[in-house]
Structure 1
Amino acid sequence: MSQRTYNQLWTDAQLELGRLLKEELPTEPPRPEKDRVVFFQRLAMLYVRYIQIFRQLEKVYDQVVHPQKRRVIRAILDGVMGRVLELKNEMVEKEFSEYHYMDDVLHDLKLTPVDLEIPIPRFFISDRSKEFQERKTMLTDIFKLVEVTDSQEPLMTKGMSQEEAIKIIQVVERARQGRLRAKLNEESRNMNRMYKTKDPGTAAIELATVCIQKVWRGYIQRKRSKIARAEEMIFLGMAMDPKYQLPCPAEITAQTSEAWTRIKQMEHNEDYQKSVVAVTNQLRDVEGHDMSKTMKDQIRQWFIECRDATGSFPDFPDEEDGGSALIFAEKNPQQLMEEIAAKEEEESTNKPKGKEEKKEKGKKDKGKDDEEEEEAGLKMLPSAFLSDLEVGNKTFVDFWQTRNESRNFNQRHEVELIKEEKRKVIEAEIRVQVDEQMRQELAEWKLAVDKDKSGKTKGNAKKKKGSKSGKKKKKEKDLTADRTLESLCQELVEQGLLKQANNVRLQDYMGDYSYLGTTLRQNDIEPMPSLSDVRQVLSLYAILPLGSQVVHEKAPLIKAILLAGPAGVGKKMLVHAICQETGANLFDLSPLNTAGKYPGKSGLAMMLHMVFKVARLLHPSVIWIEDAEKMFYKKVPKEEKELDPKRLKKDLPKSLKLIKGEDRVLIVGTTKDPLSADIKSLCKMYSKIILIPRPDYGSRYILWKQLIRKHGGDVTRALDISSLAKISDGYTPGHIVRVIQSVVTKRRILQQANRPLTAAEFVAPLAKIDPVFQEEEEALKNWYAKTPLGKKRIKAATGKEEEEAPVKGKDAKKGKK
């Protein structure tokens, strides 16, 4: 598509965003909603509409070439992503479930489940491609170095006993003799056939020709009828034309143009960066002197006006308050003096008094909040992104919407825009220098006119500086301050704590949408989530925050996620997919992986310090804990006591608390047996617990079809996938992959032309595997019901939450009396 089309897409997305902002930021505050269902419907509608804007803006940002437009779009895109996460968090708190079903909303908006899919922005990796490439080369060199050193040792020390050598020789010799015997048998059979053949008569020849004709005509007719049937199915629209299954020339052209557009983006961005430097230097040289002169004149004028109005020279505002920028606000000199005096009085007030007042105010506020909560219903939580979205939308409306770009056909940067932006930056730089000079000048004026006041101001300034210096916080001890990042990475790789993520994408985690979720919930039946729901939740909780720094800092912070489910549902695959989609490094702190490494308390502290230090420096990072239940065992099994799986139980939560908004580090735990762990300590560690169930019928159908094709099999009419999906109820994606690998071998792929694949071939290997029984899934559901969110869900379903609210109010009143 052309740049004009993408500009139009941006305009359409901004118009929809403007409508949403009017709904979310009305002139009058909306009344609280008492009906929970109506409130959730409103949230779901906003959520779906924001996702549509997100999908459009992501597409636009990926293909727009104009560097200044891309910066505006990026800011709005980060805001939209953050707002989607906020709405998701609000839906979780109001519905007490990680999974939500919006069939009715999709029906009202005339959308399909594909439109609800969370897109993974391509700029997560493309915008930081150089940084990721450098990091990748560094880590691959370390991995190769470690592999070479590891592989050399066993080659030197590996030995073989005499008995083993004799057995190998015997096996090889017997195989050679068997091959020779088979060859001799084949030759003897051929010789016997030659002797048995006799001259056939004329009658036998005619019978043979008739037989051959019958077979040939039958074969030809079957082939013709098969072709005719296929053409009829294509004509009726019940089968796809083979020419559409391969990428058509238009698609190939579109892909090449997209790749070419990304190269253009890089070129235009480099030109823009060079132009920014040149324009900044030019403005500093040409307009810098005039700026400083006008600022000095204005500040001097302010000094004189304050002297005339109040009878004394004013105190110059501090740098932290904004310096001379406060002077140029639209206020009288007297008002500005009053503001500065009020600030000084607030700072001079005693701290304990302020605390007592705050406590009293807090008590009053709590009482008011309780009364409001009793009267009010459900309200929207305050947003950290709506103000940014409003600013971005205003920028678009004021500048880009009506801008005539007929002359800027190549979509290059605009110099005037750079000048407007950089004037403010240069003005701020010059203001700092001017403020220092004018402070000295003001001090000289005061010395000349009022000597007493100047002493007081100096004393106050000293006191302020002393008070601020006392509030410094202690920094954390760096145990590896003398070591380089490369050496730390090499040690972690050698110890097996830093690993290379498998090349897996989130879209490879296949699953169908849950179409009956809303219907089941309306009938008070809690549906099990589909694999599509799991994929969507992980996109929101893990991939979007790890990919964007702005989103991670402002959105609800999620430090640790626990993936719970039976073996084979794809927990490990999801961890690797998160790393691949965001370019994150993978650290393995699994109990079995850390066993015997860095012994003692000091060793444990060093291990955690190194892992978290490297994870912060090379963010985004994922710290994976396989078999997370082992760390919180109720009772450690005898065979695992030597491994000490609970050694990280106390120290890891402490390290988790040190993760802040600016650190894009996520802990992901996976467990297949959460019942063996202490549920309280497990839930304290992991703020989000995601239950991954067995795949439903729709997901199994997709898995069989796509995985057979992926392994080289042809899905024909002879292969009844519906029956396979039906009989494989209870089997996980891991089981299905194992069965397909055992059936669809290289030899079987070659035989497909004469003998197509059938469902019966997959039944025998499938029957040898034990499925996940209903009892195991019910046990996982019952365990999840004991988690904090599961308890809230049960209370909301039984209506106990509404009954408990007024009781609390009565108890509170009794307590006051």
Structure 2
Amino acid sequence: MSHSTYNKLWADSQMGLKSLLTEDNPAQPPRPEKDRVVFFQRLATLYVRYVQIFRQLEEAYDQVVHPQKRRVIRAVLDGVMGRVLELKNEMVEKEFSEYHYMDDVIQDLKLTPEDIEIPIPRYFLSERSALLRDRGKMLLGILKPMEDQEKLKSVGVRALNLEEAVKILQVSERARQGRLRSKFMKDIQRYEERQKRAKDLVLAKDTAALRIQKVWKGYVQRKKTQREREDEMIFLGMTMDLSHTKPSPITVRVKSNEARRRTKQEEYEEDYQKSIVVITKKLREVEAPDIRETMKEQIRQWFIECHDATGTFPDYPDEEDGGSGLIFAEKTPQQLMEELAAKEEGDTSKKPTDKEENKQGTKNKGKEMEEEEEAGLKMLPSAFLGDLEVGQKTFESVWQNRTESKNFSQRHEAELIKEQKRKEIELEVRVQVDELMRQELVNWKLAVDKDKSGKAKGGAKKKKGSKSGKKKKKDKDLTADRSTESLYEELVEKGLLKQAENVHLQDYVGDYSYLGTTLRQTDIEPMPSLSDVRQVVALYAVLPLGSQVVHEKAPLVKAILLAGPSGVGKKMLVHAICQETGANLFDLSPLNLTGKYPGKSGLAMMLHTVFKVARLMQPSVVWIGDAEKMFYKKVPKEEKELDPKRLKKDLPKMLKSIKGGDRILIVGTTQDPFNADLKSLCKMYDKIILIPRPDYASRYIMWKQLIKKNGGEVTASLDLSSLAKISDGYTQGHMVQVIRSILTEHHVRQLAKRPLTAAEFVAPLAKINPVFRDEEEAFKNWYAKTPLGRKRAKAASGIEGEEEPQVKGGKNAKKKGK
């Protein structure tokens, strides 16, 4: 597609964002909403519309080649991502559920489920490609010698004596002779059978011709009927034409064009950076002296005007207050001096009298009464709406009506660079001029005011010292004398830093939940689909880790727990998070720590090293497999030697040290959370995501894609609907296991003659135990005991907002009379 196409896409998204901002941030805040359903509907509508704009901006940012436009789009894109996360957080707080069903909203907006799929911005990886490439080479360079040593240890070549060698040769030779003898006997048997049939079947020519014609005509008619049936199904839209399954030439051309545009982006960006250096240097040489002299003249004029108006020279504004920037504001000298005097006297303001306090108290009471009257649900304050409004104004003032007829190639514009750099140079020159003019003001005061006072007042004020307070104790760096590369290598050698598997979030296949809202309206809590799981992981893990701006301002998620039966893809999601964001993968699973960094000092050193490398080489994911083992209620006898509760005290302390600027995420996975202390587990993980077994729609899609991925072909002889029905209760891991057992190399070669059928999958499935209803109900009951699950249960039972029952004799019981 052309430059104009993506420019139009950007303009459309900005227009949509403008109308959305007027609804999301109106001039007069709307009245609180008392109906929770109506309020959630409003939140869901805003969320869906922001996701649509997010998708448009992501595509525009990926393909627009103009370097200055890309910076504006990037700022708005990060703001929209952050707003989406804020709305998600607000929906969770209002609906008390991590999963939301918006089938009614997308139906009202005439959208499809694909339109609200959270996209993974491609710049997460493309803008760090060189760094990730170097890091991958470093990791492979460390892992390869380790793998070679393990192979040598495991192979262990042992010399054979003469008798053993002769015995092996004899066995091999006898097996070879047996195979040859069997082959000869089969050939002789087939030859004898053919001779016998030839003697028995001696038919007349007419009869033989009739039989051949009958067989041939039946074969031809069956083929014709099958072809007509396929054409009819294609015409009805029930199946896709085989010619459409392969990428068309137009699609291939579009993909190559997109790759070429990304190459142009790098070229134009490099050219843009060089131009900035050249233009800045030229502006400093040509315009900076004129700006300096103009500022001096204006400041001197201000000195004279102030002296004429007040009879004294003013005090020069401090650099902290903006320096001479205050002078050039649209204010009279008298107003400026009054502001400076008011600021000095601000600290000695009088305390309010008793009457004033009483008046203030009555006002506060009145406000409280108004707040009580206006009780209801309100939108939480946003940290991103201001950025979005700034981006919208920048688009309207600079780019919306800009004529670009002469910039066909969409390279940078020098005039915009000059405008931006002039402001920066003005600030630099202003600081220099302020130093000179402060001294000049001192000289003027000495010359003019000498007769009024013997001591001349200095123009420059002493800077206020910083408030003396207790300094925060800095954590001692246990590895201050070591480089990051050496720490990285040590963690790889110890097996704590691993290479993530090459899987992506889109590989976690699952269909959308189409009846979620309908079921909730009938007081039935639906189980989330795998598509919902994928969306939640993208929102809580991928987007914050991929963007530093989003991570700093969005609601902070430090740790998430993925809970579900074995085989539902928890480990795959951990690796997908690392692949989508280019994050390092640290494995602190209890079983992986056995025998590593022994003792209390070793544990402190291990955690310090892991989190130091994670911060220096962020984004990073700290994976804790079998997370329930860390919080065992009672450690099993067979695991006491492994010390699975080793990290129970120290890891939560490290979790508290993670701030908004640290793109570090702790991800725990568990298939047996029932044995853990629930209170400690929920304290550690602020987000708990329950992953169910796949539903019918997800199984139907998964069978199709997994068979193709493993070299199979889906034909009309394979009834996918029946296969999806009989595999109810089986997880993704079970499906992969069954497909690999069926699609052997020999079977794949025979698929042209013997296509797959649903009956072949029955026997391997029967050998595997599915996820039974009891296990699924156990997970549901366990999740209902988590903080969010309890809130959801209260809201469903209609006692939402009531206080928890007070424990007899507890702290709350003492406050009962108040």
* TM-score (norm: length of structure 1): 0.92
Question: Equivalent residues in 2 for 1:599-638 (5 A)?
Answer: 599-638=598-637
169 and 548 in structure 1: CA distance in 2 versus 1, 3 angstrom threshold: farther
Amino acid at match of 1:461: K
Question: Equivalent residues in 2 for 1:63-102 (5 A)?
Answer: 63-102=63-102
Q: Give per-residue Cα distances to partners, 1:400-427, cap 9 Å, x unaligned.
A: 1111111111111111000001111111
Q: What is the alpha-carbon distance in structure 2 between the residues aligned to residue 550 and residue 366 of structure 1? A: 40
Q: What is the alpha-carbon distance in structure 2 between the residues aligned to residue 192 and residue 50 of structure 1? A: 74
Identity rate, percent? 69
From 168, 178, 181, the counterpart of 2:178: 181
Comparing 512-521 with 599-608, greater Cα deviation is found at: 599-608
Contact 1:547/1:582, CA 8 A, preserved across alignment:
yes
Per the TM alignment, residue 95 of structure 1 is displaced from its structure 2 partner at its CA by 0.6
Per the TM alignment, residue 328 of structure 1 is displaced from its structure 2 partner at its CA by 2.0
Comparing 369-378 with 18-27, greater Cα deviation is found at: 369-378
SS in 2 for 1:730: coil
Q: Give per-residue Cα distances to partners, 1:291-337, cap 9 Å, x unaligned.
A: 12222222333333344444444333333332222222223334333
Per the TM alignment, residue 97 of structure 1 is displaced from its structure 2 partner at its CA by 0.5
Comparing 635-644 with 214-223, greater Cα deviation is found at: 214-223
Per the TM alignment, residue 130 of structure 1 is displaced from its structure 2 partner at its CA by 2.1
Question: Equivalent residues in 2 for 1:268-279 (5 A)?
Answer: 268-279=268-279
Per the TM alignment, residue 490 of structure 1 is displaced from its structure 2 partner at its CA by 0.3
SS in 2 for 1:461: coil
437 and 595 in structure 1: CA distance in 2 versus 1, 3 angstrom threshold: farther
| Equivalent residues, number | 803
Q: What is the root-mean-square deviation in Å for CA atoms of aligned residues?
A: 3.2
195 and 709 in structure 1: CA distance in 2 versus 1, 3 angstrom threshold: closer
Amino acid at match of 2:508: Y
SS in 2 for 1:623: strand
Amino acid at match of 2:69: K
194 and 279 in structure 1: CA distance in 2 versus 1, 3 angstrom threshold: closer
757 and 190 in structure 1: CA distance in 2 versus 1, 3 angstrom threshold: closer
Amino acid at match of 2:222: R
Amino acid at match of 2:135: R
Q: What is the alpha-carbon distance in structure 1 between the residues aligned to residue 805 and residue 181 of structure 2? A: 95
In the other structure, the counterpart of 1:388 is 387
In the other structure, the counterpart of 1:407 is 406
Contact 1:234/1:240, CA 8 A, preserved across alignment:
yes
Amino acid at match of 1:224: K
In the other structure, the counterpart of 1:716 is 715
Q: What is the alpha-carbon distance in structure 1 between the residues aligned to residue 740 and residue 640 of structure 2? A: 37
22 and 730 in structure 1: CA distance in 2 versus 1, 3 angstrom threshold: same
Q: What is the alpha-carbon distance in structure 2 between the residues aligned to residue 18 and residue 140 of structure 1? A: 48
In the other structure, the counterpart of 2:263 is 263
Comparing 683-692 with 326-335, greater Cα deviation is found at: 326-335
Per the TM alignment, residue 227 of structure 1 is displaced from its structure 2 partner at its CA by 2.4
514 and 193 in structure 1: CA distance in 2 versus 1, 3 angstrom threshold: closer
758 and 387 in structure 1: CA distance in 2 versus 1, 3 angstrom threshold: same
Contact 2:712/2:748, CA 8 A, preserved across alignment:
yes
Per the TM alignment, residue 345 of structure 1 is displaced from its structure 2 partner at its CA by 4.6
Comparing 105-114 with 370-379, greater Cα deviation is found at: 370-379
Contact 2:120/2:580, CA 8 A, preserved across alignment:
yes
Question: Equivalent residues in 2 for 1:291-690 (5 A)?
Answer: 291-346=291-346, 372-373=371-372, 375-448=374-447, 449=449, 461=462, 464-465=464-465, 467-468=466-467, 473-690=472-689
208 and 25 in structure 1: CA distance in 2 versus 1, 3 angstrom threshold: same
313 and 139 in structure 1: CA distance in 2 versus 1, 3 angstrom threshold: farther
Q: Give per-residue Cα distances to partners, 1:254-276, cap 9 Å, x unaligned.
A: 11111111111111111111111
SS in 1 for 2:586: strand
Amino acid at match of 1:103: D
SS in 1 for 2:585: strand
In the other structure, the counterpart of 2:232 is 232
30 and 129 in structure 1: CA distance in 2 versus 1, 3 angstrom threshold: same
SS in 1 for 2:641: coil
Per the TM alignment, residue 752 of structure 1 is displaced from its structure 2 partner at its CA by 1.7
In the other structure, the counterpart of 2:61 is 61
Contact 1:446/1:454, CA 8 A, preserved across alignment:
yes
Q: What is the alpha-carbon distance in structure 2 between the residues aligned to residue 315 and residue 510 of structure 1? A: 69
Q: Give per-residue Cα distances to partners, 1:397-455, cap 9 Å, x unaligned.
A: 12211111111111111110000011111111222222222333334444554678767
Per the TM alignment, residue 168 of structure 1 is displaced from its structure 2 partner at its CA by 9.1
Amino acid at match of 1:12: D
Is 1:25 the counterpart of 2:25 in the alignment?
Answer: yes
SS in 1 for 2:252: helix
Contact 2:316/2:459, CA 8 A, preserved across alignment:
no
Contact 1:146/1:493, CA 8 A, preserved across alignment:
no
SS in 2 for 1:766: helix
Per the TM alignment, residue 161 of structure 1 is displaced from its structure 2 partner at its CA by 9.2
Comparing 321-330 with 692-701, greater Cα deviation is found at: 321-330
Q: What is the alpha-carbon distance in structure 2 between the residues aligned to residue 511 and residue 78 of structure 1? A: 27
Question: Equivalent residues in 2 for 1:200-215 (5 A)?
Answer: 200=199, 203-204=202-203, 206=205, 211-215=211-215
Contact 1:514/1:530, CA 8 A, preserved across alignment:
yes
SS in 2 for 1:642: helix
Per the TM alignment, residue 361 of structure 1 is displaced from its structure 2 partner at its CA by 10
761 and 393 in structure 1: CA distance in 2 versus 1, 3 angstrom threshold: same
Amino acid at match of 2:43: L
SS in 2 for 1:704: helix
Q: What is the alpha-carbon distance in structure 1 between the residues aligned to residue 363 and residue 454 of structure 2? A: 44
727 and 596 in structure 1: CA distance in 2 versus 1, 3 angstrom threshold: same
Q: Give per-residue Cα distances to partners, 1:438-485, cap 9 Å, x unaligned.
A: 333334444554678767887x726x22x3475754433221111111
**Structure 2, unaligned runs of 5 or more:** 807-811
Amino acid at match of 1:137: K
SS in 2 for 1:690: strand
Amino acid at match of 2:613: V
Per the TM alignment, residue 231 of structure 1 is displaced from its structure 2 partner at its CA by 2.7
Per the TM alignment, residue 374 of structure 1 is displaced from its structure 2 partner at its CA by 5.8
Q: What is the alpha-carbon distance in structure 2 between the residues aligned to residue 644 and residue 774 of structure 1? A: 33
Comparing 425-434 with 536-545, greater Cα deviation is found at: 425-434
Comparing 708-717 with 579-588, greater Cα deviation is found at: 708-717
Comparing 734-743 with 295-304, greater Cα deviation is found at: 295-304
Amino acid at match of 2:653: K
Q: Give per-residue Cα distances to partners, 1:764-815, cap 9 Å, x unaligned.
A: 11011111111111111111111111111111111112455999xxx99x98
SS in 2 for 1:561: strand
404 and 724 in structure 1: CA distance in 2 versus 1, 3 angstrom threshold: same
Question: Equivalent residues in 2 for 1:757-768 (5 A)?
Answer: 757-768=756-767
Contact 1:446/1:453, CA 8 A, preserved across alignment:
no
Amino acid at match of 1:117: E
Q: What is the alpha-carbon distance in structure 2 between the residues aligned to residue 806 and residue 535 of structure 1? A: 37
Contact 2:31/2:374, CA 8 A, preserved across alignment:
no
Q: What is the alpha-carbon distance in structure 1 between the residues aligned to residue 405 and residue 102 of structure 2? A: 43
* TM-score (norm: length of structure 2): 0.92
Per the TM alignment, residue 388 of structure 1 is displaced from its structure 2 partner at its CA by 0.8
Q: What is the alpha-carbon distance in structure 1 between the residues aligned to residue 507 and residue 549 of structure 2? A: 28
Comparing 708-717 with 569-578, greater Cα deviation is found at: 708-717
Q: What is the alpha-carbon distance in structure 1 between the residues aligned to residue 469 and residue 306 of structure 2? A: 34
In the other structure, the counterpart of 2:809 is none
755 and 195 in structure 1: CA distance in 2 versus 1, 3 angstrom threshold: closer
Contact 1:615/1:665, CA 8 A, preserved across alignment:
yes
Comparing 295-304 with 615-624, greater Cα deviation is found at: 295-304
344 and 633 in structure 1: CA distance in 2 versus 1, 3 angstrom threshold: farther
In the other structure, the counterpart of 2:702 is 703
